[in-house]
Structure 1
């Protein structure tokens, strides 16, 4: 059954909320990781990779490779000065920089003069079984794509492999295509998470039919909670992709929009899977509660049959257990005082009567088919 029957935890950093703070304030999240920067500079025939960079390396690389497209990959948001320097170097609005470090943003796409900005939610299960829901932010300007991620996890390894292979449009379609490829990779990983959740739902459903217990309800509730988190990412992601398709920015070319329509279809498919899985988990909970209720009804039915059988027997035993005296203290007969107490073999007659009533009631219940339904 795996380890999913324990509570699903949502791993996230604590956000800093400064009430009344100036718009554009860069407040680094508590526990944010130190940035790790890699620059990929490429064109149709060349790919240059520079690791462990700083702001000086970024500016030098861009100037040196002026005929290249640059993907600046930043993992970790724990350096406010670096983010401010990037904003100054590229002329990025302070509100955009604020959205990058405020990692509770919903997926969105915004257009500015000379550049575009977008966010997405990266969702996956880590090695501890925690559901990680972190933010991806990207800026596209001229021949530059800058991506920001909260963790040091290499989430976009498939993009790096495609860049090294140099096939297809990955090197020639411009920075807008790179931004689409990053978004599409995030969507593809939604299907990986949904596939794992689908397997867990099937296992929970099998357990419901084979050996139902109360853990099924808890498992189904945790699965449903996970699906709700994914749903909260899929719905705005669809709107984000739709905004990119309708964008009039030159950075999002017609060819890129063609690919974005395919990504839009993938997003709709993921949303449909989430909704169908939610219905299945709800039906599992309802079915388990119905089975518990039916089981309780069966138990009550058995107890009712036992009570109905023994009520008349208890009534007879109670009557003849009153022990009213047949004669008074002078030996005179007292009229109407239980003459059966002095019958020969009266005890045998009482037992026969009681067994007769008991077996008679059981026969009636059997004829009605009550025992077949227990």
Structure 2
């Protein structure tokens, strides 16, 4: 486990090695814990009165985003997202999520995340600027900064997905290969997984933006409303991209269907041309002879070349007719 504690005052930002000293110091305190196991947080839980179930939710990667009230503090759970290459296929990506827990109290903020998540590290330069501004607006303003950073990463993921969609659309129009359908379905699965992250996050932030939490000052509600508006845009973009992938899939299926129809049309024309030719060779293949009703052409010297020439003429006339009708 790694603990980092900083205190924001009008005079600057002060880092502390001891959490208790940071809490007792004047100013707005931010404590960030990077942990793998809930048992590592006993000191933090006792010092700030964090509920064990809330801490377990942070370390469970399958927990949906939410906002809950715990007496003297508000618990907010959100999920970060990132794209990575799929292991099971040669192309396509998949979305990975990681939970971030924010506990907002009176004059303090505690964030908990996995060790490999550096998004909310309080020693990052982006968090240490304008310390007087943070000191004036409180710990809930710090919580807004964290949530805003998480949502900004949502747009980065959407930009990557949009790039993938554009590449697939171009291939659908130029080279509709069989593997494109699987790739389109993979993008749609990613968008559905992303929607399951963004939708509850929007509801969780909406609770903060409406002033339902006593730990959020009225003057800071507008910042959470801004994050909420960004999440609305994220959800709208997800739906738009799902429609785009659905349209690309329809275009691919239509292209495949059209190609199949062209093949079937060609085969039908060839079969139609051979129908009269098969009839001719079938009739003269009966070889009836020695009766008054036998075929007189069987004894004709030029019967074979005449028959072949007639068959070629029939085939040529049929080909000319099909071409005139636009079937070839």
Is the pair's TM-score, using the shorter chain for normalization, greater than 0.5?
Answer: yes
Whether the 8 Å CA contact 1:163–1:171 is kept in 2: the answer is: no
Alpha-carbon distance, 1:126 to partner? 5.0
The one of 123, 126, 143 aligned to 2:81? 123
Distance 2:308 2:232 in 1: 75
The one-character-per-residue Cα deviations of 1:72-128 (angstroms, maximum 9, x if unpaired) are 1112232x3332332222222333233233332111111121110010011013588
Query: Does 1:318 find its partner at 2:282?
Result: yes
Most deviating of 102-111 and 245-254:
245-254
Q: Give the aligned partner of residue 238 of structure 1.
A: 202
Whether the 8 Å CA contact 1:159–1:181 is kept in 2: the answer is: no
Matches within 5 A, 1:33-112: 35-50=1-16, 57-63=18-24, 65=25, 67-78=26-37, 80-112=38-70
Whether the 8 Å CA contact 1:47–1:163 is kept in 2: the answer is: no
Alpha-carbon distance, 1:320 to partner? 0.8
Name the structure where helix makes up a greater proportion of residues: 2
Alpha-carbon distance, 1:215 to partner? 2.0
Distance 2:75 2:145 in 1: 15
| 4+ aligned runs moved over 6 Å, structure 1 | none
Query: Does 1:198 find its partner at 2:198?
Result: no
Distance 1:98 1:153 in 2: 17
Q: Give the aligned partner of residue 7 of structure 1.
A: none
Query: Does 1:187 find its partner at 2:151?
Result: yes
Query: Does 1:278 find its partner at 2:230?
Result: no
Normalised by the length of structure 1, the TM-score is: 0.81
Q: Give the aligned partner of residue 255 of structure 1.
A: 219
Distance 2:319 2:219 in 1: 80
Distance 1:120 1:286, change over 3 A: same
Whether the 8 Å CA contact 2:191–2:238 is kept in 1: the answer is: yes
Structure 1 unpaired stretches of 5+: 1-34, 328-333
Distance 1:158 1:288, change over 3 A: farther
Matches within 5 A, 1:154-193: 154-156=118-120, 160-166=124-130, 169-193=133-157
Q: Give the aligned partner of residue 138 of structure 1.
A: 102
Alpha-carbon distance, 1:48 to partner? 1.5
- Which SS does the other structure have where 2:167 is aligned? helix
- Which SS does the other structure have where 1:145 is aligned? strand
Distance 1:304 1:158, change over 3 A: farther
Structure 2 unpaired stretches of 5+: 87-92
Distance 2:3 2:194 in 1: 28
Distance 2:5 2:150 in 1: 20
Distance 2:122 2:309 in 1: 85
Distance 2:128 2:267 in 1: 74
Distance 1:158 1:355, change over 3 A: farther
- Which SS does the other structure have where 2:30 is aligned? strand
Alpha-carbon distance, 1:265 to partner? 0.9
Alpha-carbon distance, 1:275 to partner? 0.4
Whether the 8 Å CA contact 2:12–2:132 is kept in 1: the answer is: no
Q: How many residues align?
A: 322
Whether the 8 Å CA contact 1:100–1:148 is kept in 2: the answer is: yes
Q: Give the aligned partner of residue 354 of structure 1.
A: 311
Alpha-carbon distance, 1:248 to partner? 3.9
Distance 1:91 1:162, change over 3 A: same
Normalised by the length of structure 2, the TM-score is: 0.92
Alpha-carbon distance, 1:233 to partner? 1.0
Distance 2:36 2:216 in 1: 26
Distance 1:127 1:305, change over 3 A: closer
Whether the 8 Å CA contact 1:163–1:170 is kept in 2: the answer is: no
Distance 1:305 1:151 in 2: 68
